[in-house]
Structure 1
């Protein structure tokens, strides 16, 4: 098992609270404490997890080896920089930072000090994503749909940073080629920021990904379809199924190759627990995270380009009068 890793959580609101509970339940980890600007929330989570509460995160990082940072994105750079300067390994919630320049600074500091810098792209640890990986060969077209019902949480940010960045990260990990072109469309519908968006990512190797996200639907849909030479993969995240269709050499009467269909169901897992275990393993063994600061920056760069294009294309005058009244 090795030495006990002393952990902490900075920011224990909706998501940070879950981080604290995961650390508290892990063997080989001591949850030293949590820090939050809200005394009430911080003390509540500290009591739930039987650890100390710190009103100032600077006092917490003096006593830990590693922390999860789940503060608002605008504070990621400041808090992350303070932790790294103190010699503390960090798991930063997504998006990694507000700007690419901020991400570059954190990456440089982490590398200079040989510290672990992991970014919380949680979907990488989704059992569905892990279940489809063995079937991947050479994807040429990916269609991704992440459609959710409206929730009055996280609506202060663009749907691209709220939802699409998950799929961007997954797709960039699947298609091992630089992006050549991006085409986008999007619009605000229920909030002052973009609520529905589509991005078409065209890669240098000829592969294409069509990504659609919405947070104003009446139902939840999370699906990804991956087409590659000789096979097709359909991943249904919600129903926990991966369907693989492989084309055979033998033809049917229609002239279409016969199909070998395999449906695999995967168990409902705990992606956050898996992510934190991966982080602790990296801290203990000094290994590179599968989603390091570099991967976090890469996804952020694409998300920024998508957002920039959408803003250029939007005819905002159509919405101005509506939002004046609501």
Structure 2
């Protein structure tokens, strides 16, 4: 029988608490320590060691692997601390806060040859796997338009932590990064962007709402709208039974893809196509595709254990995640300048 992998957790906030829950359900892993400078509450609940500083924890505990879930602007320096000690890590998204930071992490990983899995967990969701298979099988024909939405109302106390109100946060980098990564995964690389943002609903330094136009390298055109301050049932977290803290509206869709041969609504995976005759005067025929009801995060953890043991390559590498970050950078520059931008990959 394989000895459970000893995992340490850096960051005991909302995401860290979620990761702890997934580890508790995984027999092949054991959570052995938590580092968080603000609170020992989670470690005390579980009954494991707590450290204020993560470097002290890494040196004393010497875990087999680490999950990094601290504030966004600490991701790169923390991941490099793990790399320098030869410890594989699952790095929560975003992989970095800038293209320059991503380049630093890519260079550090090349020096140390230690694996990193970036936590774009939606790629592990069975919905995403089946949707990609439908697209790759050519059921939509040539993809033409992509429409995405992520809109919800975060409670005021979500922003009690200062880092969520200042640069390095915002609805684009915290939330829409997931949608952009998944749309890249499903629809192909993004060639250019245009964007508008607003912070008028919450009044913080960072945006609370955004509208983004996407041009994909394959010629498809897309739009993505997002807000963390509105009333809406439309968004992956409400429409997919994935993150339990969100109230669910599972009958609603958050992505709509249309091509020359068919259209697909996600997450329902309803495929619309013509029968024998095409044209708007003819009724469309729909078919629904089933998928296993597995947890994306639990599947991500199982994959990470294989990555940490050297049995699998990361589904989302640092270089791959950096391409999503390049799209984010381009979006933020487009919103600032009002001009179309081309993502510049590190």
CA shift digits 1:75-132 (9 cap, x unpaired): 1122111111010111111111122121122122223322111111122233432342
1:174 to 183, 186, 191: 186
Partner SS, residue 270 of structure 2? strand
Partner residue in 2 for 1:263: 288
Partner residue in 1 for 2:131: 132
Alignment CA distance shift 1:172-1:251 (3 Å):
closer
How far off its partner does 1:286 sit? 4.1
* Structure 2 CA distance for aligned equivalents of residues 158 and 313 of structure 1: 19
Is 1:273 the equivalent of 2:292?
no
Alignment CA distance shift 1:130-1:48 (3 Å):
farther
Partner residue in 2 for 1:27: 27
Is the Cα contact below 8 Å between 2:23 and 2:301 reproduced in 1?
A: yes
Is 1:46 the equivalent of 2:43?
yes
Partner residue in 2 for 1:113: 112
Partner residue in 1 for 2:199: 188
Is the Cα contact below 8 Å between 2:130 and 2:291 reproduced in 1?
A: yes
Instruction: Return 218-227 or 102-111, whichever deviates more.
Output: 102-111
What TM-score comes out, normalization by structure 2 length?
0.81
Is the Cα contact below 8 Å between 1:148 and 1:220 reproduced in 2?
A: yes
Partner residue in 2 for 1:324: none
Q: Choose between structure 1 and 2: higher strand proportion.
A: 1
Q: Please, which runs of 5 or more residues in structure 1 have no aligned partner?
A: 315-326
Partner SS, residue 269 of structure 2? strand
Instruction: Return 215-224 or 263-272, whichever deviates more.
Output: 263-272
* Structure 1 CA distance for aligned equivalents of residues 265 and 26 of structure 2: 34
* Structure 1 CA distance for aligned equivalents of residues 192 and 4 of structure 2: 47
How far off its partner does 1:290 sit? 1.2
Alignment of 1:15-94 (within 5 A): 15-38=15-38, 41-42=39-40, 44-62=41-59, 63-94=62-93
Alignment of 1:313-324 (within 5 A): 313=338
Partner residue in 2 for 1:296: 321
Alignment CA distance shift 1:269-1:220 (3 Å):
farther
2:307 to 276, 282, 297: 282
Is the Cα contact below 8 Å between 2:123 and 2:185 reproduced in 1?
A: no
* Structure 2 CA distance for aligned equivalents of residues 227 and 51 of structure 1: 50
2:264 to 225, 233, 236: 233
CA RMSD of aligned residues (A): 2.2
How far off its partner does 1:181 sit? 2.4
How far off its partner does 1:205 sit? 2.4
* Structure 2 CA distance for aligned equivalents of residues 225 and 273 of structure 1: 26
CA shift digits 1:228-272 (9 cap, x unpaired): 231100114xxxx221112233358x653x533112455654222
Is the Cα contact below 8 Å between 1:91 and 1:119 reproduced in 2?
A: yes
Partner residue in 2 for 1:307: 332
Is the Cα contact below 8 Å between 1:143 and 1:209 reproduced in 2?
A: yes
2:273 to 205, 223, 246: 246
How far off its partner does 1:168 sit? 0.8
Is 1:162 the equivalent of 2:174?
yes
Q: Please, which runs of 5 or more residues in structure 2 have no aligned partner?
A: 236-253, 340-346
